Amino acid sequence: MILEKYSMGIGDRFARQGKAQLAAIIEAKRQGVDVTPVWNKSHREHATIRTVPADVRSEADEAVKSLGWTDGYHVDADHIGLKNVDLFMDSSDFFTLDVADFTGQSADEEDIRAFVEKHKKYIGSFEVPGIDEAFKTTADRIEGIARKYLLAVKEAGKIYRHIEATKGADNFVTEVSMDETDEPQTSEEMFFILAAVADEGIPAQTVAPKFTGRFNKGVDYVGNVAQFENEFNQDLAVIALAIKEFGLPPNLKLSVHSGSDKFSIYEPIRKAIKKYDVGLHLKTAGTTWLEELIGLAMAGGQGLKIAKEVYRKALGRSDELCGPYATVIDIDKDKLPSPEVVEGWSGQEYANALRHDQTCQQYNLHFRQLLHVAYKIAAEMGQRYLAALKEFENVIAINVTENILERHLKRIFIYE
Ligand SMILES: [Zn+2]
């Protein structure tokens, strides 16, 4: 199973917006760019919302069927490990093997020695086409990288072989992710990680490194854009070389776990994939759920009432909601509007504060981040929330489609 050149991970917390999401992909295709939709959802999201992987599969199948989509699409078991992969086995055909839990834990000394020995031809100075300065790799450096990542990659190998044994090698796409580690990987580290991935026989089609800078959920990138651009371009060069050197799949590409909406790095990414004519997987977080809130607010009446209630409750439980996301959100509580203020807002005012339009004066990134992690509140509303999604489906769908098309697909994939 080959993953196409451009693909986009479109998380959808409540699994109700598949059609509206796919409509954006269809419009992009009409405008000349083929992007494969990948519905991704992690175990954590399923647990919070009380959905199961089969729900994502039916959402995807149903959207594809009802809109007559005949191109490829996938269902991604996002950030899975050996402990929970079995839950995803039937429903998924894309597996993101998360190795973050094991990075920093050291493999056996024997394995480390064998790895250094196997790759000793890279000791000294070696050129990576596309990177100006040659890598000056030492045995110590390779050993250090092995010490940090080899066990993690071996663990990914175990997960891969477990999936392969059940599904058959040709029936799924494999991604290796290490974006949830503490430190960004250098391009030299990336090269030897890919060597280890190949040694393990993992036919990775996408790899998700951790990049420099902050990737807070649902809001723009915070960091040095020029440094990011340099890293991104170096990673592309390293991947191109690793494909040749280690026999990895020729379509191996970068996967950017964006946490959604990293608009300021979209331009350098767009430039780089165009310049080198390479693929990209852009994975987003569940910000479609924020478009649901925007749609509900704009619908007015009961919809607006629910949107306000979610915020009021979220504010009261902010520590609990933010806890699991502590490393990927930055909320200044002083900048959050009081529930009384929000109570007085019109639907338009609520939408203006929440929608990710940085040119809008009312846009509030603290409000947005808190609501991003507040999906648990909506999940607890249960049927009431889902019924509102149905009742106000039209206005919600417009927002969902517009968000994916205008703010994401057009900025990153649709050239000129
Ligand atoms: Zn990730």
Percent above pLDDT 70 for the chain:
100
What's the average model confidence in pLDDT over 172-181? 93
Asked whether residue 415 carries a pLDDT value surpassing 80, the answer given is no
Ligand 1 centroid to Cα of residue 108, in Å, is 27
Residues 260 and 297 in one domain: no
What's the average model confidence in pLDDT over 351-371? 98
Ligand 1 centroid to Cα of residue 283, in Å, is 8
What's the average model confidence in pLDDT over 205-222? 96
Q: Count the neighbouring beta carbons within 10 Å of the beta carbon of residue 266.
A: 21
195/192 Cα distance (integer angstroms): 5
Residues 329 and 262 in one domain: no
Ligand 1 centroid to Cα of residue 178, in Å, is 7
386/379 Cα distance (integer angstroms): 9
Residues 300 and 258 in one domain: no
Residues 366 and 259 in one domain: no
* pLDDT for 236: 98
What six digits make up the tokens of 352? Answer: 């203006």
Is residue 250 in some structural domain? yes
Rounded to 5 degrees, what angle do the CA atoms 173, 178, 181 make? 160
What's the average model confidence in pLDDT over 152-181? 95
* pLDDT for 293: 98
Domain count, the chain: 2
Residues 207 and 344 in one domain: no
Tens digit of each residue's pLDDT (9 = 90 or more) over 14-32: 999 999 999 999 999 999 9
Residues 295 and 282 in one domain: no
Ligand 1 centroid to Cα of residue 175, in Å, is 11
Picking from 238, 257, 286, the residue at the C-terminal end of a domain is: 286
Domain that holds residue 320: 289-399
Is residue 101 in some structural domain? yes
* pLDDT for 366: 98
Ligand 1 centroid to Cα of residue 181, in Å, is 10
What's the average model confidence in pLDDT over 70-76? 98
What's the average model confidence in pLDDT over 118-135? 95
Ligand 1 centroid to Cα of residue 177, in Å, is 7
Q: Which residues pair with 37 in a beta bridge?
A: 8
* pLDDT for 286: 86
135's enclosing H/E stretch is strand 135-137
What's the burial of 250, exposed, middle or buried (CB within 10 Å: 0-12/13-18/19+)? Answer: exposed
Residues 100 and 249 in one domain: yes
Nearest by Cα to 219 from 285, 291, 308, 293 = 285
* Ion ligand 1: residues, CB < 5 A: 179, 257
Q: Which long-range contacts (CB under 8 A, 24 or more apart) does 357-363 make?
A: 358/220, 358/263
Ligand 1 centroid to Cα of residue 327, in Å, is 13
Asked whether residue 416 carries a pLDDT value surpassing 70, the answer given is no
Q: Which residue has the higher pLDDT, 98 or 231?
A: 231
Is residue 411 in some structural domain? no
- CATH number, domain of 130, equals 3.20.20
Percent above pLDDT 90 for the chain:
94
What's the average model confidence in pLDDT over 83-110? 92
* Cβ contacts of 388 within 8 Å, gap of 6 or more: 296, 302, 303, 306
Ligand 1 centroid to Cα of residue 369, in Å, is 17
What's the average model confidence in pLDDT over 255-269? 96
Residues 213 and 74 in one domain: yes
Residues 117 and 210 in one domain: yes
383/80 Cα distance (integer angstroms): 28
Ligand 1 centroid to Cα of residue 79, in Å, is 7
Residues 232 and 361 in one domain: no
pLDDT band at 146 (very low <50, low <70, confident <90, very high): very high
Tens digit of each residue's pLDDT (9 = 90 or more) over 222-251: 999 999 999 999 999 999 999 999 999 999
Picking from 286, 315, 350, the residue at the C-terminal end of a domain is: 286
Residues 60 and 175 in one domain: yes
Ligand 1 centroid to Cα of residue 257, in Å, is 5
* Cβ contacts of 248 within 8 Å, gap of 6 or more: 194, 197, 198, 203, 204, 242
Is residue 82 in some structural domain? yes
Is residue 414 in some structural domain? no
DSSP 83: T
Rg (CA), the chain: 22
Is residue 416 in some structural domain? no
Ligand 1 centroid to Cα of residue 7, in Å, is 15
Q: Note the pTM of the prediction, 2 decimals.
A: 0.96
pLDDT band at 105 (very low <50, low <70, confident <90, very high): confident
* pLDDT for 6: 98
Picking from 251, 286, 321, the residue at the C-terminal end of a domain is: 286
Q: Which long-range contacts (CB under 8 A, 24 or more apart) does 296-301 make?
A: 296/388, 296/389, 296/392, 296/396, 297/347, 297/348, 297/350, 297/351, 297/354, 298/347, 298/348, 298/350, 298/351, 298/395, 298/399, 299/347, 299/391, 299/392, 299/395, 299/396, 300/347
pLDDT band at 101 (very low <50, low <70, confident <90, very high): confident
Ligand 1 centroid to Cα of residue 147, in Å, is 22
Is residue 410 in some structural domain? no
* pLDDT for 100: 81
Residues 184 and 312 in one domain: no
Is residue 407 in some structural domain? no
